[in-house]
Every structure is written in C-alpha cells, then in structure tokens.
Amino acid sequence: MSSSLSFDPVLADIPAGHFIGGQLLAGGERIAVHAPSSGAVVGHIPAGSADTVDQAVRRAAHAQATSGWATCAPRERARVIRQWARLVEDNAERLARLESFCSTRPIAETTAWDVPFTAEGMRFFAEYADKLGGDVAATESNLLGMTIAEPYGVIGAIAPWNFPLVMGSWKVLPALVAGNGVVLKPSEMTPFSAVLLAQLGEQAGLPAGLFNVVQGAGGVVGAALSRHPLVGKLTFTGSTRTGIAVMQAAAESGPKPVTLELGGKSPQVVYQDISCIDTVAARIFRAFTGNAGQVCVTGSRLIVHEKVAAPLIERIATLAGQVRPGPTWDGAAAYAPIISTPQAQRIEGILSRACAAGAQQAVPMRRLLPESGGVFLSPAVLTNVTMQNVAVREEIFGPVLTVQTFREEEEAMTLAEHPEYGLAAGVHTADLGRAMRAVRRLKAGTVWVNRYGRSADFVIPTGGFGGSGIGKDLGRQAVEANLRHKSVLMSFEG
C-alpha cells in the first residue's frame, strides 16, 4: 500500500450504533460487519427491532412537529444544510475511510467522488428549500384558489449497500429540505457512514431527533419502518423483489406514497458510425465494471452493429486484462471486490447457467487475489446469447457484459427493449438524428448519449420505468416527492 490515501483497516472510533434522538445507542443482540476485501469482521452493529423503529419514528415525528424545522423560514433550513455540507467536507477523510473499509468502494474513489459528490448534492438540495411553495390558481375575481405544499411529517428511507453515503444522502436531503423528519435504515453490510452523516447534521444545526438512523436486518427493521403508521412516505433503493415487498408492507398501515429505485438491465447500443472505437470501448468497459458491476444502472447489455462488434470486443478484452484489484483501503486499488461470498457465488452461478444455455465466454471470468480472503471477480464478456438467456434477462449485479449484434436500427431497438426493466440506456453514435430516434424509442428512465453514467448534474432526476421503479431521486422531482399539496379555495365574502 504505497499510495498516500492508503489506511489501516483496523479503524478506531467507529460510530457503531443506532442514532436516535441525537444519541448513539448500542447494546443487545449484535450483527457482525465484514470487509468485502478480506472477509474479516471489522465491527458490529446492534440488531434493531420493531420497537427500535417505533422509538426512532416517534422521535422524528416529535422533532418535526415541535422543533420549528417545518415552519421556519425555508432559507434557514437551507443555511443549516449548507453548513452540514461544509462539515462533510471538513470530515472528508474520516467519511471516506468509514465508507471504504466495510464496502466495495475503493478509498481513491470515496475520496475523489463519493464524499465530494455527497457534499455538492447537499448544496443542490439546500437551494430548493424556498423554491417549491405551491401555486395560485386562476378563479373568479372574488375567489382565491391556491395549492399549498406541506411536508408529510416523517419519511422512512431505506438505502442500499453499493453506494451507502451517496444513496443515503439522496434519500435524506430532499426529505429534510421539504420540512420532514427522517428515519434512515442503512444496509447492515455498510452501516457506519450514515451515522457519522447524521452526527454532522446535528452539529450543523439539525434539531435533535429530526434525523435518526436505525441499524439492523432488512427483514426486521426495513419491514417495521415500511409498516409504521406514522411514516407518511417511503423511499427505497434496492432490488425489484425487495421493492415490491416494501410497497406491500407500506400498504398494510394505509395507503402511502413510495419512491422506488429498483433493478436494471440496461442496454448500450453502439452504431457503426462511432468516431473513435477506443473511446467507446473504454466508455462501455467503465459502464459494466464500475464498482465491479454492482451498480443499478450498470450498462450490462451491449447491442452493437455487426460491422464494429469484433474490434470493439477485442478492445474490451484488452481492458479487462488491465484491471487493478486490491483492498478498498489500498489507495492504489482501482477495481472493487464483490460485496460478499454469497453474491459472488450467485454471479458465478448465473454465468454457469448462461453458458449451459449456449453463451460463450469471449472474455472468461476468473477469481482474482484468492489469497485476500475477499472475492474479486474479473470482467466477463458473453457472446452467442439470445433474449431468453438468463444472463440477458436477469440482473446479475456483477462485472458481466452480454453481446448481441444487429444490422438495422429497428433490430437494435427491439433488442434493447427488456421485458421487465427500464432503468437506463446508452446510445453511442455520431449521427444526431439516429441518437434522437433512439432516445424517443428506448423505454428507460435515463438515456445517456455518447457517455454513460451520472455526473454532478443534480438537477437531472434519476429513476426507472416498469420493474425498475416508481418516482425519482435527484432533481426538483425528489424534493416535490416529499411534499403533499393542499388545495384551497377562498371567498372574499365573509
């Protein structure tokens, strides 16, 4: 570990508990937290229960109702959140290390991207505090019609393990900006950075109890949070199957809105007119190997014109042989581990089934750094696949790219359509007309043209169609989703 970013994975001062009512709470049954890079236990968290969730939700409801957070000048909420963003930057090294040592995120990436991206996203949401207040409606001259935007009260948020800090902040910040209290359940596999984020929020001026973090298993804590009658709205990122369970649980305590960012099986369509095949190959490679493919928007289905398929695959194969895996606490590491051994076995199992059904490994997968104790899987490229192949149909959540070729535009669009998912898509072409036709045809919540992946353009929302979810994270839409609107019609005659 020669890089200046490298650190000892035996961290001190880990915030290993619930954060409820401004206090760090531990005790009772514990859950072990493992480092994916080594498989070693790096800490423990308390196993929350339905009672823990109830305590946190009631504290959030009380703080939201009595602290003045929801009724103060919106610019005051913005001021607190801007100060919070500064504290995130001031504590960037600690946050980056907490994020890296128990997750799949290499320290070089959490330092350069995750923490700065989180802070800048906080500033973006702060700017919306006084921008979404309702509307005045056109009515008779002796009447006043208007809509008033109000917070729900308490927002229940369930964040995933693949980008714990970033995705957690996407849940929490728009809810708080809109005047709500929040109870966040981070993944039990990546639980620590959320607590420090909450602690920094109170240092910045959040009322105690407004933002609470409850640790524990999804089947217990997530289910209890979804069902709690004082939770006015839910926001969840994770698998489609779990998202359906969250929606069902939410309905048990009465109808309530949900935002669901779920699975994906995103196509990348490459036309024969691309101007630089090396540039496109590098872009496609990053799109399916970033975080070792453990990204909901992973561009895992390459749909390429037959004239450029062979040279493109050749260049991707070269890039696959150049990955630099290493423990997430090694500053030189540039390729992530798989989150757990069971997940690695699932990826390998899907690959095996795909090959048994006729797929060929143009770039075969192998295990890297077997001596590490973690699981690092090299990128794989599968050819000779059909739409019925399991590798094309199922979300693998690993570094696997399937390849299908086409001759005509219509054929490309047919192959790009997936029977379940519609989260994201990529289009690579030098022809603007062709790009716009594809943008119109693709059934996906986000379409990237001659690029792939998110940037710091927080104003552009993210969210999918069909089995990929409901609602949006980011953008003004994320803030609006945390507000409910009251209609008012007033006569001037008493």
Beta bridge partners, 25, equal 18
Beta bridge partners, 143, equal 491
Q: Select which of 109, 188, 261, 480 is catalytic.
A: 261
Q: Select which of 102, 109, 296, 395 is catalytic.
A: 296
Chain CA centroid to CA 367, Å: 26
158 to each of 84, 186, 223, 261, 347, how far by Cα in Å?
A: 21, 6, 10, 11, 24
Beta bridge partners, 148, equal 134, 486
Across 455-480, b (16+ Cβ under 10 Å) vs e yields eeebeebbbbebbbbbbbbbbbbbbb
Provide CB contacts within 8 A for 241, sequence distance 6+. Answer: none
CB-count exposure of residue 490 (10 Å: 0-12, 13-18, 19+): exposed
Provide CB contacts within 8 A for 188, sequence distance 6+. Answer: 31, 33, 45, 215, 216, 217, 218
> Mapping DSSP to helix (H, G, I), strand (E, B) and coil, where does residue 143 land?
strand
Residue 194 token pair: 């959320």
Alpha-carbon span 360 to 263, nearest angstrom: 25
Alpha-carbon span 402 to 391, nearest angstrom: 7
69 to each of 129, 132, 298, how far by Cα in Å?
A: 12, 16, 38
Sign of CA dihedral 320, 323, 327, 333: negative
> Mapping DSSP to helix (H, G, I), strand (E, B) and coil, where does residue 80 land?
helix
Alpha-carbon span 261 to 470, nearest angstrom: 7
> Mapping DSSP to helix (H, G, I), strand (E, B) and coil, where does residue 430 land?
coil
CB-count exposure of residue 8 (10 Å: 0-12, 13-18, 19+): exposed
Strand intervals (E) in 48-180: 134-137, 143-151, 154-158
DSSP label of 358? T
Question: Residue holding tokens 């839409």?
Answer: 477
Q: Is 140 assigned a catalytic role?
A: no
Q: Is 296 assigned a catalytic role?
A: yes
Beta-strand pair 469-470/258-261: antiparallel
Beta-strand pair 380-383/360-363: antiparallel
Catalytic residues: 261, 296
